[in-house]
Amino acid sequence: MLNVGENSAAESNSGGWKRNTEDGIRERIAGIIQIISAGLFDRDDVIKISVLAVLSGQNVFLYGPPGTGKSLISRRIASVFADSNYFEHLMHRFCTPEELFGPVSIRELKNDRYHRLTGGYLAEADFAFLDEIWKSSPAVLNTLLTLINERRYHNGSEIIRVPLKSLISASNEVPLHEAGLDALYDRFLVRLVVNPVGSRDLFKQMITSRNTGKGVPMPENLAVTDEEYSRWLKAIDEVELPDDCAEALVRMRGIIADNVDLSDLDRDDVDDDFDLGGGMDDDGNYGHLSYVSDRRWFQIIRILKASAFFNGRSAVKIRDFFVLRYCLWNTSSDMESFSSLVEDTVKEFASDELFPQELQESIKKEMDREGPEGTDKLLSQLRVCINAVNEITSSLRRDGVQIVSRGGEMFFNQISETVPHY
């Protein structure tokens, strides 16, 4: 079991749980998600996955039509961190570097030194939100590359280490390849679709609710301090990636390489129709898949480790792979195909978790001993088990997962119902 903190009485909060124990962290995150979600409807997965991404140091892209609460979600997630310097900006066609990084110091210019006054701007922010990110010019957006990926900013001749923990961006489109923004887009590992409220009941609740959009201030005992955040990141790095999980990633990467059409890298259309078509065709082949960079594979390993860490585990399990549904796609046309690939990978590689090797060997011995009559009986029992597994995996394909949390697994289900435990 992963050690995530000391169990000293000094760490207990007024509610009675210890904030840095495994159970304490799970309860805190569950409380944080509840605070962020207040008055927001049909946004559970978006908020849960965003919190997981932000707490593991990853950047998030919110993709959806106008008026779906993307800005509000970002502002609330910023409250996760205690004493956070928050920066927000609405990008536009005529956006200038001064709007993001501050004005050039006139005093320094007189001394032949180029230096920006960065106080209150992006280079000094702990958490940031850039709305309508692709509306700005490539010249401005490309200045973000080093800052977002390496957490460094070149202020004239000086290289500054920036305190940025995570950056959330939002848009109703993905960037044109010809705009030269593929490298920037690639730095947003987690990509979440934010659609309008779906069901009639939730829509009615939304329009009759009195607190929609107001939110609740984050209690001090829930907010994550800089010291805790740094400690958690180090602990995430120490989580093990077992051989079966590594093999599953290798297998997925191979399937993508076999299916990807590299001509997609030369696409010149904006994919903004929110068409969720795709998936596996009748011949068992995946439909449209797109390029996934080595950089994103490294980031994927980190978010898998974060998923394990926040479940109190010292090693990744195949069940953690469901978060990859939000990490692999590039356009709306390949969302369903990647989702099917992730689910099929989990179904294949999770067999030992669902049907342990010891049990398989035990059944085989029983079959050998009992002969044909016993074999038929055992095969009948095995079919029942297989049908149960198939029912579980089928439910995972439909609108997330509704699985009752158990004991130490509670937080994982709080993080996302689409990243379930069996």
pLDDT per residue as tens digits for the range 324-367:
999 999 988 889 999 999 988 988 887 666 566 666 677 677 76
Rounded Cα gap, residues 419 and 82, in angstroms: 27
Query: Angle 47-338-247 (CA atoms, 0-180°, nearest 5)?
Result: 100
Residue 282: what pLDDT? 43
> pLDDT for 283-332, tens place per residue?
446 677 888 999 999 999 999 999 999 888 899 999 899 999 999 999 88
Residue 159 three-state SS: strand
Helix orientation angle between 70-78 and 22-37, rounded to the nearest 10 degrees: 140
Residue 406: what pLDDT? 37
Instruction: Identify whether the C-beta of residue 5 lies closer than 8 Å to the C-beta of residue 24.
Output: yes
Range of 17-26, 224-233, 409-418 with top mean pLDDT: 224-233
> pLDDT for 50-106, tens place per residue?
999 999 999 999 999 998 889 999 999 999 999 889 999 999 999 999 999 999 999
> pLDDT for 377-417, tens place per residue?
666 666 666 666 666 555 544 434 333 333 333 333 333 43
Residue 11: what pLDDT? 39
Is pLDDT at 5 greater than 80 in this prediction? Answer: no
Residue 30: what pLDDT? 86
Instruction: Identify whether the C-beta of residue 414 lies closer than 8 Å to the C-beta of residue 49.
Output: no
HSE of 249 in the Cβ direction (CA atoms, 13 Å)?
A: 22
Range of 2-6, 234-238, 405-409 with top mean pLDDT: 234-238
Residue 23: what pLDDT? 65
> pLDDT for 98-137, tens place per residue?
999 999 999 988 888 999 999 999 999 999 999 999 999 8
Is pLDDT at 169 greater than 60 in this prediction? Answer: yes
Rounded Cα gap, residues 332 and 334, in angstroms: 6
Residue 180: what pLDDT? 74
Helix%, strand%, coil% for the chain, nearest 5: 50, 10, 40
Rounded Cα gap, residues 396 and 354, in angstroms: 14
Please indicate, yes or no, whether the overall pTM of this predicted structure exceeds 0.85.
Answer: no
Domains and CATH numbers, the chain: 13-224 (3.40.50.300), 243-415 (no CATH)
Contacts 24+ apart (CB under 8 A), 107-111: 108/156
In sequence order, the β-bridge partners of residue 130 are 89, 169
Rounded Cα gap, residues 269 and 374, in angstroms: 61
